[in-house]
Amino acid sequence: MSLPLVFPRILGTLLTAAALLVAATAASTVSAAPSAAAAANSAKLADSDKLTVKLPDVEVLDQEGRKRRFGRDLVAGKRVAINFIFTSCTTICSPLSATFKAMDEELRRQAGPEVQFISISVDPLTDTPAELRKFGRKFDAGANWTFVTGSRASIDAILKAYDVGTGNAEDHSPMVWLGHEPSQRWVRTYGLASHKLLVDRLTSLDKPAPKAAAASAATSPEEAAALDRMRQVASQAAGRAGVQQASPGTRGVEYFTNLPLVTQERPRVRFYDDLIRNRVVLITSFYASCKDVCSPVTHNLARVQEQLQDSVKTPVQLISITTDSGFDTPEVLRDYAERHSAGPGWSFVTGKKENVDWVLHKLGLYNEKPEQHTAVLWVGNDRTGAWLKLHALAPPEAIVAAVRKVL
């Protein structure tokens, strides 16, 4: 929520489920056969990796203080891995950088193709070349790893080209871009995935795409370890999360609005009166065709719902709001809810785009593109005005504990 006195910042984005690979998502899927709506979702995914990047050839500074042209000197003609960091970051930046180091070592072990690693500061006013050089030494960064800073305008142009938000540094994304510029092939994926999987994806960009194969429900040890690491970090962050009290101007129907929306079960709901008023709520965003974090988050919340029913007497309303209202019809959401074992008291919300977007904006969950959504989970008690924010992949026990904090 972008509430001025209540929800000042997303807690370092809390890693936005960075270790949840596509394979980890597959491991979370249920055994029920997908319906026609699910098949349509899968078809939509086919184009999601066909990304294009218009390189901004702006002037930047590297960690040695040298002036470079971002497009011409750092990316053009190269195979690249790009992440987004800042040196005072206390959450995802060091793990992202450690993954880059592991990728570099794996490429050397394989005698793989030459790769240019690029870490772009999202806090250029603080991150001088000297600070970036010091940060790079922590990871024994080699000559093929460039840390980038520069003017705010130059960095913002780069962030825009790679669909990275330009707001608070703490809200930056754990997504990384892997690209083969000569063939104009790019993919965006999670930066804390297994370094071997990232290397495989990066080195295969200029090769013909393999024929699609059925996803395996098995998770490799590396993927399981990465997933466990994410859950540990989310759990630690959940333990630190504190309750904040909503100020008078950020409560009630005047703030949340009663815009008409639709759920998987109801043809019309008023957002505040029918879903939030006097309730304890869990609110997150998702979209049905998401192929990375959404499915694991939804399965996690299904476990939360089960535990709440067993251990908390107060009813808790779960609300999952689509970021892709143009595609996610009530039928699509109904299928999605069934496949993820959502129980009664869990509303999957869609509706007119302008209404859904405004509600997401009020919650601080709006992004121009559905895939840019974050795995933020709001835990709130409308009756008392108590709210807190978690990562939606925090362990179910931690989320249940957070619910108890707001009761």
Q: What tokens does 217 get?
A: 């429900």
Domains and CATH numbers, the chain: 12-16+226-406 (3.40.30.10), 23-210 (3.40.30.10)
CA distance 258 to 256: 7
Distance CA 242, CA 235 (A): 13
Chain center to CA of 133 = 28
CB of 242 within 8 A of CB of 40? no
H helices within 46-162, ranges in order?
A: 93-110, 129-137, 152-161
- What is the residue-level pLDDT of the chain in tens, covering all 407 positions? 434 334 333 333 333 333 333 333 333 322 222 233 333 333 333 333 456 788 899 999 999 999 999 999 999 999 999 999 999 998 889 999 999 999 999 999 999 899 999 999 999 999 999 999 999 999 999 999 999 999 999 999 999 898 886 566 665 667 899 999 999 999 888 787 789 989 999 999 988 754 433 333 444 566 556 666 666 777 777 777 778 888 877 889 989 999 999 999 988 999 999 999 999 999 999 999 887 788 889 999 999 999 999 899 999 999 999 999 988 999 999 999 999 999 999 999 999 999 999 999 999 888 777 776 778 999 999 999 999 999 898 999 999 999 999 99
Q: What is the pLDDT of residue 174?
A: 76
Under 8 Å between Cβ of 308 and 356? no
Residue 299 one-letter amino acid: H
Give the burial class of 384: count Cβ atoms within 10 A of its Cβ; 0-12 exposed, 13-18 middle, 19 or more buried: middle
The maximal CA–CA distance of the chain, rounded, in angstroms, is: 62
pLDDT digits (tens, 9 = 90+) for 39-52: 333 333 333 345 67
The pTM (predicted TM-score) of the whole model is 0.54
- pLDDT for 239 equals 72
Instruction: List beta partners, residue 321.
Output: 285, 349
Is 290 marked as a binding-site residue?
A: no
